[in-house]
Amino acid sequence: MKLRKLTALFMSAMMAATMMTGFTASADEGEYSDDEIVTYTMFATMAGSELNDDNEIMDIIAHKLGVRVKETWLTGQTAEEAIGTIIASGDYPDFIDGGDGSKTLYEQDVLVPWDDYLEKYPNLKEMYTDEEWDQFRQDDGHIYWANVFQNTYGEPKTTMHNDEAFWIQARVLEWAGYPEIKTLDQYFDLLESYYEANPTMEDGTPIIPYTVLCEDWKYYCIENAPQFLDGYPNDGSVIVDKTDPSAPKIVDYNTTETAVRYFKKLNEEYAKGMIDGEFATQTYDEYIAKLCTGTVLGLCDQWWDFGYDTNDSFKTQGLDLIGCNYVPLGLTIDEGMDNRWHTYGDTLNVASGVAVTTSCDDPDRAFKFLNDVLDQEIHDLRFWGVEGVDYLVDEDGMYYRTAEMRMQAADSNYQASHLCQYSYLPQWGGTSRDGKNAMMPSDQASEFLDGLAEPLRNCLEAYGAGGYPDMIGSVIEENPPWFPMWSFSNNLSTETPGGVAWTKMREVKQEWLPQVVMSDDFEGTWEQYMEAYNDVNPQDFLDEMQEELNRRAGIE
Amino acid sequence: MKRTKMKTKWPDKLFVVCNTLFMIAFVVITLYPVLNTVAISFNDGMDAVRGGIHLWPRKFVLKNYETVLHQQNMITGAYISVARTVIGTLLALVANALLAYVVSRKRFLFRSQLSLFWVITMYVNGGLIPVLLVYRSLGLTNSFWVYVIPGMISAFNMLVLRTYMEGLPESLAESAQIDGAGDFTIFSRIISPLCKPVYATVALFVAVGQWNSWFDAMIYNRMRSEYTTLQYELMKLLSSVMQQSGSANSMAAAGQGAATVTPVSVRAAATVVTMLPIICLYPFLQRYFVTGLTIGGVKE
Amino acid sequence: MKRKAKTKAARVPITWKEVKRQKFLIICSLIFVIYGIIFYYVPLGGWIMAFENYKPKTGLLGSKFVGLDKFKFLFSDATFIRVIRNTLAMGVLNLVATFVMAILFAILLNEIRFGFGKKLVQTISYMPHFLSWIIVTGILHDALSNSGIVNELLLNFGFVDRAVNFFANKSFFWPIVAFANVWKETGWNAIIYLAAITSIDPSLYEAAAIDGAGRWAKIKHITLPGIKPTIMILLLMNVGNVLNAGFEVQYLLGNGLVKRVSDTIDIYVLTWGISQNDYSLGTAAGIFKSLVAIILIVVANQIAKRSGEQRLF
């Protein structure tokens, strides 16, 4: 420990020195001179931060690889709209990630096929297996893009659960002596007994035992729990029943027995005053504000939607020290069922990814660059930063960051002027080629544990969990070839009856589900809801899903 | 107007009292959102998320403004924004005023048809992509001129100007005509000087529109950062902050007690930054329509 | 009546001599018409999208022609009819509320004799125009929440004994939207009227004062008639805009419980068109809105013409 502190001290002195001399020195060491460096443009159909033109790591990479990429991001448009306007304007960037509009770009014949370059550049080839690459092939048999996310090198390292779960504050579990909570009923029983014993925070603010967001598309928080409670993974729009492995079947989770039981439970809890009275009308901002006060004991949501905000806010207010942080639970409707809240393994999304356009005057150089940014040295530069400045290496060769370094890395000005992730270019998750470190700092175990407050660490320990996925305890299994089905339902259009039904189902559910929960007469309201639901022909949608499922499962 | 001469009657007194009260209530209610925005712009982002900030920041920081002003291309953006506001406003004012003059001439043969032609443009819209195709074929994309040429004439502004011009005493133009003045002279020498208040109004409308627009910068000059505008840069910043807030990185920063920014706090700072120039510009235009211009004098 | 007679007299027959005399006006109009055709009318070619299944790949001219299918889809959907109702209701409510408030505010502001106060009030009044809807609706949501200031006041004064959940109640939604519009735009919309008031001859007020007219009388007989042409023109223009009740406010203030009354045509088009990449449907709805707007203004213009008021064309 002492040694580590000493090295840190030494390093920070070094760092100060480097900062004073600036980065020109290291930049000059590269193999390319300023005149040889070309600048490519890139557009990604996602929101993101632009880097400064004189970004330091971008400069280092440019001198090493001879290419600099100027990224532009999506602003105030959907991916399809943006791609539509780019096509109409005829001005294409050199690299593009078309997102939902990728297919449109392909149909427009403006993308360069990867096939020849895959043979030439091993790092690119290495990204996927041949079978996986085949999934990227379009109807003309060529590969035009590669998805850069969810691709694990070696051992997975993740300690986070980014997806959906029923979450509960660590202090509630601690208060109850860390019981096993496996079912929805147990979950609400625990909330009830805690709430009875502690109706307010220490300062007298009333506690809200449970809230749930219903705003716009984020109403998934309330609507899709039945699929998980039945033990199925997040196929998004439907359950895939594979009791007969040779003939998987689409099941509508909105009408299952479990769905009725789940909403009945919510209805009862609402009547008892356990559920936030404003849950149906709160906006996302209000929801986050509420969670950040630490008064909400439990909720159902995906981690990325609230977790970073609550963790931030709890830390600044010291609420993490009294155990307000949320931990996920892998609930099912009955005891003794498997759960699949956490999906192990990568979800291959072949619908979009980075592509090179025909506007690029030297595609070979572009592909070589895509290959080279996967070199471990460059990869470390992109995600860890400059050694000695952005991270340190201990005697075992493990990377770590000091508190100051973490803080610096979080500063948006520093990100723009110094860090250069090229976050939509090929990259790896998992374990570094050195076999020790994580490819990404966020996956490094020490980075995760260092950030945890005492109560949270105690809680994980009490359950013998090394991270959030262990808390949930989902089944570890290979993803079936059709997973996830949402990649199909997300792209339905009004041209088919199924697509029309899909949009209308959503409208009906948004309108009725809050009413079902708030109703004095659950059975009556549920019946009315089902009537409205069946009026929009959900079967049309289910039939199209079944058809797609059969196609993906290879059934005639 | 000399008030001393007039006897103030009690209904008038009551009126003044009520009116003053109304104005005070009005000011309070309209000032609140503005002051609230200013307060949030000076407050730490993460702290503001908890809500409960009204007129004064709870945790004072300058970080939001730093973030806004550090945005890349801010200088270019500001420069282009000022340029398009000045050039765009001048062009639009001249064009709309001239068109309004033409359709305000009672003798003009195609007066009604020309008005209808423009009125229709207010209610029809070809859609983003067809418009883009037209601009592209005219060579307007990837240039500065796409900001000022296409939107130059707006039927709304033209009608506001026309109405005002029609309200002017006809005798003015007639007597000038008898003196042998042509239409252009009448427009520039007789009508325009009298139209200052309405010119100021239209100039304000156009200038605010120009200053605030960002969508055109993105659509028509997506890859040309030299034609970016201030508002587009701010929009980019906002969407990037929105994406970033809630990353493992910002978590670390908050944990160390560093100032943090959120979409809400950055939006507040960006709003203040863009509002300021307009508020500064306003008094110069305001004198044309608050104090009231005496055109009665010209009448004699 | 006097004005009506005048317009009739001004009808000039088209003669060669008259054309020559108006050559400046005609040349100007020609230039403006060419400009208008290029920038406003040529892009209307895009309306063809409404009659085909537009795909970027095949483009405007190559996409599959589907006739009136998109329109049939719109009008066979019960939701769309409901959405038209909502849009009309909110459009009319907003129009009336913002219109009356802006005129009222302009007139009352004009009555303030204290110059500095007048300028200050005006400057403040138009500031909310620069706040984005997301900021305004955020504050409104705060104020109207269960623990917000409005409920606090209602509870303290004993008007209610339980906090009112304003956003869960369908009947509150339209008034809330109208209020939000008034709040944001009154000062801004008043600018036009303030400019119009300046064109009123001050000697009229002086004469009225000598006749012993009070404030109300002056407003009624001088100020209001003085800005009437402006009021009429803006009214006519806005009549065509009733179907443009917008989507941002409704989207930001709405929720599942009030969906039946909050969804507008624009939201409908967004749900169906954008999220499903159906450009054609959006275009069809746009054409429908344009046609309604044009019919409305032509009718309104005729009425104005009949009654001898200011008209658009």
Residues A399 and A485 in one domain: no
Question: Where along chain C do its domains lie?
Answer: 1-67, 69-306
pLDDT at residue B91 is higher than 80: yes
Residue ending a domain, choose from A385, A410, A441? A441
pLDDT at residue B145 is higher than 50: yes
Q: Which of C163, C249, C137 is nearest to B36 (CA)?
A: C137
A446 belongs to a structural domain: no
| Chain B: touching chains (3 or more CB pairs < 8 Å) | A, C
Distance CA A294, CA A205 (A): 10
Q: What digits encode the pLDDT tens for the residues B210-222? A: 999 999 999 999 8
pLDDT at residue B99 is higher than 90: yes
Q: Give the rounded percent of residues in chain A with a pLDDT score beyond 90.
A: 60
How confident is the model at residue C277, as a pLDDT?
62
pLDDT at residue B299 is higher than 70: no
Q: What is the CATH number of the domain that holds A368?
A: 3.40.190.10
Q: Which residues of chain C have pLDDT under 50?
A: 1-9
Using pLDDT thresholds of 50, 70 and 90, give the confidence band for residue A275. very high
How confident is the model at residue B34, as a pLDDT?
93
pLDDT at residue A435 is higher than 50: yes
Residue ending a domain, choose from A441, A463, A486? A441
Count the neighbouring beta carbons within 10 Å of the beta carbon of residue B3: 8
Find the radius of gyration of the CA atoms of chain A: 25
A447 belongs to a structural domain: no
With a CB-CB cutoff of 8 Å, which residues 20-79 of chain C face chain B? 22, 24-26, 28-29, 32-33, 35-36, 38-47, 49, 60
- How many domains is chain A built from? 2
Residues A370 and A331 in one domain: no
Question: Among A155-164, A517-526, B52-61, C85-94, which stretch is predicted with the lowest mean pLDDT?
Answer: A155-164
Q: What digits encode the pLDDT tens for the residues A445-484? A: 888 877 788 999 999 999 998 889 999 999 988 888 888 8
How confident is the model at residue A523, as a pLDDT?
96
Q: What digits encode the pLDDT tens for the residues A97-144? A: 998 888 889 988 999 999 999 999 999 999 999 988 998 999 899 999
Residues A328 and A422 in one domain: no
Q: What digits encode the pLDDT tens for the residues B146-195? A: 999 999 999 999 999 999 999 888 888 888 888 888 899 999 999 999 89
Instruction: Find the CB nearest B289 among C112, C195, C216.
Output: C195
pLDDT at residue A234 is higher than 50: yes
Q: Please state which of the four CATH numbers 3.40.120.10, 1.10.3720.10, 3.40.190.10, 1.10.3480.10 is assigned to the domain occupying B78-227.
A: 1.10.3720.10
A502 belongs to a structural domain: yes
Q: What digits encode the pLDDT tens for the residues A235-247? A: 988 999 988 888 9
- CB within 8 Å: C73 and A88: no
Residues A144 and A285 in one domain: no
Pairing of the two strands A38-44 and A67-73: parallel
Find the radius of gyration of the CA atoms of chain B: 25
* Cα pseudo-dihedral C175, C180, C186, C189, rounded to 10: -100
pLDDT at residue B105 is higher than 60: yes
What angle in degrees, to the nearest 10, is found between the helix axes of A403-410 and B248-255?
A: 120
What is the nearest CA distance from C154 to chain A, expressed in angstroms? 18
pLDDT, chain A, mean: 89
Residue ending a domain, choose from A385, A406, A441? A441
Task: Taking residues B99-127, report their average pLDDT.
Answer: 92
pLDDT at residue B5 is higher than 60: no
Residues A227 and A293 in one domain: yes
With a CB-CB cutoff of 8 Å, which residues 359-418 of chain A face chain B? 403-404, 406-407, 409-413, 415-416
A378 belongs to a structural domain: yes
* Cα pseudo-dihedral A5, A8, A10, A13, rounded to 10: -130
Residues A243 and A260 in one domain: yes
How confident is the model at residue B245, as a pLDDT?
58
How confident is the model at residue C8, as a pLDDT?
45
Contacts of A47 in chain B (CB under 8 A): 239-240, 242-243
How confident is the model at residue B295, as a pLDDT?
45
Contacts of A442 in chain B (CB under 8 A): 248
Residues A330 and A363 in one domain: no
pLDDT at residue A410 is higher than 80: no
ipTM, two decimals:
0.89
Are the CB atoms for C265 and C285 separated by under 8 Å?
A: yes
**What tokens were used for A538?**
């959900």
**What tokens were used for C241?**
């805009």
How confident is the model at residue A300, as a pLDDT?
97
Residues A118 and A181 in one domain: no
Answer whether B213 touches A (CB < 8 Å): no
Q: Give the rounded percent of residues in chain A with a pLDDT score beyond 70.
A: 94
Q: Give the rounded percent of residues in chain B with a pLDDT score beyond 70.
A: 88
With a CB-CB cutoff of 8 Å, which residues 152-181 of chain B face chain C? 152-153, 156, 159-160, 162-164, 166-168
pLDDT, chain B, mean: 85
Contacts of C250 in chain A (CB under 8 A): none
Pairing of the two strands A354-356 and A95-97: antiparallel
Q: What digits encode the pLDDT tens for the residues A172-192? A: 999 999 999 999 999 999 999
The sign of the CA dihedral A328, A332, A337, A339 is negative
**DSSP, residue by residue, B215-269:** HHHHHHSTT-GGG--HHHHHHHHHHHHHHHSSSHHHHHHHHTT-----HHHHHHH
> To which CATH superfamily is domain C69-306 assigned?
MetI-like (1.10.3720.10)
Count the neighbouring beta carbons within 10 Å of the beta carbon of residue C211: 10
Q: Which of C193, B248, C280, C225 is nearest to A315 (CA)?
A: B248
Range of the domain at A537: 164-341+452-553
How confident is the model at residue C89, as a pLDDT?
95
Residues A484 and A549 in one domain: yes
Residues A142 and A177 in one domain: no
Residues A195 and A298 in one domain: yes
- CB within 8 Å: A277 and C141: no
pLDDT at residue B43 is higher than 80: yes
Q: What digits encode the pLDDT tens for the residues A3-58? A: 444 445 444 444 444 444 444 444 445 688 888 999 999 999 888 888 888 899 99
